[in-house]
Amino acid sequence: MALRIGLVYDLKDDYLRAGFSPEAVMEFDSEDTVAGIEGALAELGHRSERVGRARELARRLVAGERWDLVLNFAEGVWGRSREAQAPALCELFDQPYTFADPLTCAVTLDKAVAKRIVRDHGIATAPFAVVASEAEARAVDLPAPLFAKPVAEGSSKGVTGRSLVRDRGELPAVCAEMLARFGQPVLVETFLPGREATVGIVGHGPGAHVVGVMEVAFTSKAEVTAYTALNKDEYLDRVSYRLISGERFAEQARALALGVFHALGCRDAARVDVRCDASGMPHFLEVNPLPGINLVRSDLPIMARLAGMSYAELIGAIVDSARARHGL
C-alpha cells in the first residue's frame, strides 16, 4: 500500500542563509539528500511531502495536519537532546514516524551516556572520562595515548588530528580548545589503535539484520589517527571502503553492533562504529540511530550499495520496518 510520507529534516542552506557557520551546519542535510529520498520514495510508489525542520513540523501538527508516516532525519539545533525533538513532537501528536524514539535519540547523542549503557550490557567499550574544565582534564587517570572529542556531536564534528593525545601533559590544552569551541564537555577515551569498521543495521526487534560490515581504510592523503570530519568530507581522496565478511573481526563487529542496536533501543536503521584495541578485540565507539542517508556520500547507503542493495531498496526497508511497527 502506498503511503503519504512527510519528510522532516534540517537543510544546510536554510541555516547558512540564517547566519549559521559552515561548521555549525555540518550535521545537516543538503538538497541532494532530500531530493534523493523523494526519488526513492516515488520509485517505491509512495507520495512524499516536504515538511522541513522540527519547528515547521510542530506548526503543522498543531494545525491538524497528519501523514501516514513521517520519515524523520532532522538533527535538531540546540541542546544535547536536539535529535529527540522531532520524535518527541511525533509522539505528542500520535504521528507515526521512522527511526528511534526520543529516549534513544537523546542518550545516543551523548556519547558518554551511550557508553555507560553499552558497558552495563557487557559490551566492550574503551575506558573513558568526561571533562568539563582544564582542572578535570589534568585529573584524568587514564594512560596515554588518549582520544578526545566533544561529547555530544555527530558527523565527526570536533574530531581532528589534535584529538589523538600522545602525551598526557597536552590533554588540558586540547580539552580547553574543545570546551571553548563547542561549549560542551569533552569525552576522553583510551585510544584504540586497531582496525575500524562501521556496521549498518536495518529493521527492528528480532528482525533487525546487518546490511554490511564496512572497514574504513585510509589513503596516504588521510588523517590516519581516526575517521575525522576532514576524512569524511574529502572521502574520495582520503578514504577507501570495503565490505568484510567471513573473518573473525567481521563476525565480532557484527555481533557487537547488533548487541548495541538492541541495548540502546534503535529501530528501523542505525549505524554502529567499532574499533579494535591492540589485541584485535572490537570495542564500541558510538552509534547513530539517525544514520546519514545521502544516496552518494553517507556510510549506510555506501555499504548497502557494496552489498548489492539499491538506494530505493534501502529506503524501502526503513519505511517497511516503521510501517510494520506502527501497524500501517
Confidence of residue 111 (pLDDT cuts 50, 70, 90): very high
Residue pair 283/125 in contact (Cβ under 8 Å)? The answer is yes
Cell numbers at 1, concatenated = 500500500
**Omega before 22 cis (within 30°)?**
no
Residue pair 313/124 in contact (Cβ under 8 Å)? The answer is no
* Domain extent for 243: 108-123+193-326
Asked if 81 and 228 sit in the same domain, the reply is no
Whether 162 is in a domain gets the answer: yes
For residue range 246-268, list pLDDT tens digits in order. Answer: 999 999 999 999 999 999 999 99
CATH assignment at residue 82: 3.40.50.20
Which element (helix H / strand E) includes 49?
strand 47-52
Asked if 116 and 180 sit in the same domain, the reply is no
Strand, helix or coil for residue 285: strand
- Cα distance between residue 41 and residue 323, in whole Å: 14
Asked if 93 and 112 sit in the same domain, the reply is no
For residue range 37-91, list pLDDT tens digits in order. Answer: 999 999 999 999 999 999 999 999 999 999 999 999 999 988 889 999 999 999 9
Whether 81 is in a domain gets the answer: yes
Asked if 119 and 69 sit in the same domain, the reply is no
Asked if 94 and 22 sit in the same domain, the reply is yes
CA atoms within 13 A on the CB side of 237: 6
CATH assignment at residue 138: 3.30.1490
**Which of 8-22, 100-114, 130-144 comes out lowest in average pLDDT?**
8-22
Whether 273 is in a domain gets the answer: yes
Whether 103 is in a domain gets the answer: no
As for how many domains the chain has, the answer is: 3
Query: In the prediction, which pLDDT does 236 show?
Result: 60
Question: Is residue 159 pLDDT above 80, yes or no?
Answer: yes
Whether 67 is in a domain gets the answer: yes
The residue behind cell 602525551 is 167
Question: E strands of 132-267, at which residues?
Answer: 146-150, 164-165, 186-190, 196-203, 209-218, 239-243
Whether 163 is in a domain gets the answer: yes
Asked if 185 and 199 sit in the same domain, the reply is no
Asked if 215 and 254 sit in the same domain, the reply is yes
Asked if 160 and 265 sit in the same domain, the reply is no
Whether 281 is in a domain gets the answer: yes
Residue 279: C-alpha distances to residues 170, 193, 232, 276 (Å)? 26, 9, 27, 7
Asked if 219 and 314 sit in the same domain, the reply is yes
- Cα distance between residue 137 and residue 188, in whole Å: 9
Query: In the prediction, which pLDDT does 257 show?
Result: 98
Asked if 32 and 51 sit in the same domain, the reply is yes
Whether 289 is in a domain gets the answer: yes
Confidence of residue 233 (pLDDT cuts 50, 70, 90): low
Residue 307: C-alpha distances to residues 17, 218, 242, 248, 311 (Å)? 38, 21, 10, 19, 11
CATH assignment at residue 274: 3.30.470.20
Asked if 139 and 207 sit in the same domain, the reply is no
For residue range 128-156, list pLDDT tens digits in order. Answer: 999 999 999 999 999 999 999 999 987 67
pTM of the entire predicted model: 0.91
- Cα distance between residue 169 and residue 137, in whole Å: 10
| Amino acid at residue number 323 | R
Asked if 318 and 198 sit in the same domain, the reply is yes
